[in-house]
Amino acid sequence: MTSAKLSHTVAIILKALSLGYQFGFEIMEVTGLPSGTVYPALRRLERDDLVSSKWEAEEHALKEQRPVRRYYLLTRAGKGAAATAIQRYPLLSRLIPEKLVKT
């Protein structure tokens, strides 16, 4: 992905992923972006090999009584694009908090 294609929306999603936010609803909550923006962007990022995804085990979701989640992770190229996003939009570092790790 060239920096010309690095929109603010894509940049903020890449930043969220780089901080450990991994599924769509979580990304929507932390960025304030609507689902109609987040999910198409994630599909494009996956198509462009910046993000990979996998479905969680159904048993885990059933145990928590919620729908199955699709988890997204940055690829090597995606990590590079996230670094470019932070350079291009330096205020992103202040917009999205570091994800608290569950213990």
Position 101 scores a pLDDT of: 47
Give residue-wise pLDDT tens across range 49-98. 999 999 999 999 999 999 999 999 999 999 999 999 888 888 887 787 77
Considering the segment(s) 3-95 as one domain, its CATH architecture is: Orthogonal Bundle (1.10)
Relative to beta strand 51-55, strand 70-74 is antiparallel
Helical (H) or strand (E) element with 73 = strand 70-74
What SS3 state is found at 84?
A: helix
Position 10 scores a pLDDT of: 94
Confidence tier at 102 by pLDDT (50, 70, 90): very low
Give residue-wise pLDDT tens across range 9-32. 999 999 999 999 999 999 999 999
Two tokens at 43?
């599909």
Can you give the residue ranges of every domain in the chain? 3-95
Q: Over 60: is that where the pLDDT of 103 sits?
A: no
Q: Report the C-alpha gap between 15 and 52 in whole angstroms.
A: 15
Position 100 scores a pLDDT of: 56
**Residue 64 to residues 35, 46, 59: CA-CA distances in angstroms?**
22, 27, 9
